[in-house]
Structure 1
């Protein structure tokens, strides 16, 4: 397949890199055009306009020189106006401010882009792409306020029916809410029993069980089949410190729990009344703040205050194995989430950034983008069901949406 791609860059000092880039992309089957192909005697402006208008994708090589280039600015203006798919490459310096909400690939040091990046170039969107509005322009419309907790709300999750929400709080309780009427949500039950803050809540895939993790170092399982009369079915007391994160596997048979004791524990919860510890994952050197299963249930991602993310093969729940350690964040990792197709992992950190990782090869994950824009720690990350949007929440009262 051959795709016409327009390369935008600064001739000085990025010319040599762009020459190598063009050769690399051409070898992969991408039809590339950049200004070296202007024939003597042709009118410069007309040729660039014609090529840009007809391209299927627009690649901009970001560097301090290209950000200062009037030609790059003009080309980028037109590409955005025409809704061309934009594929930025960060060669040097910082991401262009105007592109801070667009995924980019880090090629600092003169690296060539990854196979996944090239694959996206070979299959660009066929319809015009509209720039994503900046979060400040979004106008969410509140339809209801759920009140009752007496302290901070630390965790919120929807049930699989889409009509139930569970909220965990530092007041040591969990509340269940019926959202059948979105304008008039109703409290159906308050779950008590934890002796300290509730840090994390998670519904099982079938929506019949709720897991709650607490700073009291326990995890509790609740039968919430009857939303008005939930019943405690089991308490998991094995951690030696606060439990900060809980997650069910896609088949609902395994629960993963992350703790301040720097371990992750896997539990067989097939029998909700007799859960059994199957494995303790060690290797992190600090608090495990977030755990997430891949959509196929074969991989577990764990984020830690030791500034790393680890991937684990949990195909055999009794003999899980570490497959990779993802370094790069310069501060604690606070949240991890897989994309719906399982090929991308998003990680949020106290270093104010979000990183996207290509985890197609679980043993050789590669960072594909670093998202900047938050002014404080990124506390939570989550993909939309179609995988096209990432939401990131910061500690400075902001949520950002990324295309």
Structure 2
């Protein structure tokens, strides 16, 4: 960039420039300036006033830039930590939204009453920008104010802001959710199969995890050793489930269709063996007292009473594709049974015929829900409201849907944004937990999410797994959740409040389906 003639000397020599005032014509006789151009005529007073400011003018904005920054409309910023995406915090997002709403209400209020539209008038000559040197007013010494009372603090904001606070305020949770696991266990060889169920916790706090063909057990509240329970080599385990009546019994389903019942106190030999219980993989097991239900890839689920040895099981062909999950309800009526399959349907059964429609036969389902658009694996009965069932769909569906089993109707739904792997209800609060797999949003992939029911608002998002957490189990008192994933780790999260001692658990199966009524 070339310097002008006025910039040749940097030593501070002052250059005198001619100042042109008034108007000029082509003749040699000067013309008196017109009164309409008097604003451009430099009087001695104006010349002395402008001499102290130079030839650079910066407009002074009339509003506070800090307030303008906080009122800006911008998208939420996502931050990354060590190369891994960090999902947004729902609580912080709601708090920021409330703060912005209150700031907008307090800073941009129209105190003047509304007036009618003005009529035609001469345009104002007021300048848009004002060129001046801001004058800082002298600081006024004021006495220290007395601490405001609670009433003064409440009245320090407008009525609209108080209404916003009242609408957004919720009762605090009984405990604070820990965003990181308090314990991590190695699980080498833990499968990431979407259709398997390889993790469970007994009523005494024994964690059982299936690694290929072996089941290992460790105590939830101890940092001690891990015990090998059984090995069904050469077959591979597809599902495991602790008994709800006898906490030392565990059922093991294999990939080739066998079912084994083992006793934790005497693991040397299986208590019961059901060879060729199914013709294909057993991916789901569920206990109801002494009865065990199994769902398989052969499109059937079976019911067996372990007290009757190798007696013939009740076989029901429920779905047109694999049965991914089959669970008994454990509320006031444990006869209700739900199944979910790869045919994108959720089916509810009543094997005691207590609420069955008159035109329904025993081998037919009570209700069938076909609203999901993908494979369904997550399935959980509510321990708080009898007959409420939650189901979660795969990547093409991404929905958690809630059903009323007594009326056969859908209640509500929530789009999770990703693949729903497993579901678990809190035993002490109206909240439901979901494990998320593949997702179109990288911030929600391989996470554990907690939702408030029934308004279905997100409570927390737990991050830690590097692969999808396909295994999920909850402690007997309901405070700890264990998740397992293809990253070969088991992570223990303290997320829910403990169940009060002596409280009658709605979800405990106190009654057993009458097996004699099922035999014709």
Q: Which residue of 2 aligns with 1:259?
A: 341
Q: 328, 337, 353: which is aligned to 2:416?
A: 328
Q: Which residue of 2 aligns with 1:107?
A: 92
Deviations 1:250-286 (A, max 9, x none): 1320111110000011111227995541011110001
Q: Map residues 314-325 of structure 1 onto 2, 5 A cutoff.
A: 314-316=404-406, 319-325=407-413
Alpha-carbon contact 1:249-1:255 (below 8 Å) kept: yes
Alpha-carbon contact 2:253-2:285 (below 8 Å) kept: yes
Q: Which residue of 2 aligns with 1:231?
A: 311
Q: Which residue of 2 aligns with 1:301?
A: 390
Q: 1:312 to 1:396 in 2, by over 3 A?
A: same
SS for the counterpart of 2:312 is strand
How far off its partner does 1:140 sit?
A: 5.2
SS for the counterpart of 1:283 is coil
Q: 203, 225, 232: which is aligned to 1:148?
A: 232
SS for the counterpart of 1:284 is coil
SS for the counterpart of 2:492 is strand
Alpha-carbon contact 1:221-1:232 (below 8 Å) kept: no
How far off its partner does 1:336 sit?
A: 0.8
Q: 353, 356, 364: which is aligned to 2:450?
A: 356
CA distance in structure 2 between the aligned counterparts of 1:116 and 1:388, rounded to whole angstroms: 27
Alpha-carbon contact 1:179-1:185 (below 8 Å) kept: no
Q: 1:342 to 1:283 in 2, by over 3 A?
A: farther
Q: Which residue of 1 aligns with 2:366?
A: 278
Higher RCO structure, 1 or 2 (CA under 8 Å, sep 6+): 2
Alpha-carbon contact 1:357-1:366 (below 8 Å) kept: yes
Q: 1:322 to 1:116 in 2, by over 3 A?
A: farther
How far off its partner does 1:189 sit?
A: 1.6
CA distance in structure 1 between the aligned counterparts of 2:475 and 2:313, rounded to whole angstroms: 32
CA distance in structure 2 between the aligned counterparts of 1:237 and 1:140, rounded to whole angstroms: 44
Q: 1:346 to 1:140 in 2, by over 3 A?
A: farther
How far off its partner does 1:178 sit?
A: 1.5
2:327 pairs with 1:242:
no
Q: 1:279 to 1:217 in 2, by over 3 A?
A: same
Q: 177, 180, 185: which is aligned to 2:265?
A: 180
Q: 1:388 to 1:213 in 2, by over 3 A?
A: same
CA distance in structure 1 between the aligned counterparts of 2:429 and 2:299, rounded to whole angstroms: 30
CA distance in structure 1 between the aligned counterparts of 2:270 and 2:459, rounded to whole angstroms: 43
CA distance in structure 2 between the aligned counterparts of 1:402 and 1:92, rounded to whole angstroms: 27
Alpha-carbon contact 2:421-2:437 (below 8 Å) kept: yes
How far off its partner does 1:173 sit?
A: 1.1
* Residue correspondences, number: 299
Unaligned ranges ≥5, structure 1: 1-11, 18-90
Q: 1:240 to 1:108 in 2, by over 3 A?
A: same
CA distance in structure 2 between the aligned counterparts of 1:157 and 1:148, rounded to whole angstroms: 15
Q: Which residue of 1 aligns with 2:486?
A: 395
CA distance in structure 2 between the aligned counterparts of 1:117 and 1:373, rounded to whole angstroms: 30
Q: 1:401 to 1:280 in 2, by over 3 A?
A: same
- State which drifts further: 338-347 or 145-154: 145-154
Q: 166, 176, 191: which is aligned to 2:251?
A: 166
CA distance in structure 2 between the aligned counterparts of 1:379 and 1:152, rounded to whole angstroms: 17
Alpha-carbon contact 2:290-2:306 (below 8 Å) kept: yes
How far off its partner does 1:391 sit?
A: 1.1
Following TM superposition, the consecutive aligned residue runs of length 4 or more in structure 1 with deviations greater than 6 angstroms are 113-117
How far off its partner does 1:382 sit?
A: 2.5
Query: 1 or 2, which has the higher strand percentage?
Result: 1
SS for the counterpart of 1:162 is coil
Alpha-carbon contact 2:326-2:339 (below 8 Å) kept: yes
Unaligned ranges ≥5, structure 2: 1-65, 100-164, 187-221, 355-360, 439-445, 495-520
Deviations 1:139-185 (A, max 9, x none): 5521233112533212111112102100112121111112234xx45
Alpha-carbon contact 1:346-1:356 (below 8 Å) kept: yes
Q: Which residue of 1 aligns with 2:300?
A: 218
Q: Which residue of 1 aligns with 2:182?
A: 133
Alpha-carbon contact 1:292-1:301 (below 8 Å) kept: yes
Q: Which residue of 1 aligns with 2:160?
A: none
TM-score (ref. length: structure 1):
0.65
CA distance in structure 1 between the aligned counterparts of 2:368 and 2:459, rounded to whole angstroms: 30
Q: Which residue of 2 aligns with 1:365?
A: 456
Q: 1:147 to 1:232 in 2, by over 3 A?
A: same
CA distance in structure 2 between the aligned counterparts of 1:258 and 1:358, rounded to whole angstroms: 23
TM-score (ref. length: structure 2):
0.51
CA distance in structure 2 between the aligned counterparts of 1:401 and 1:290, rounded to whole angstroms: 20
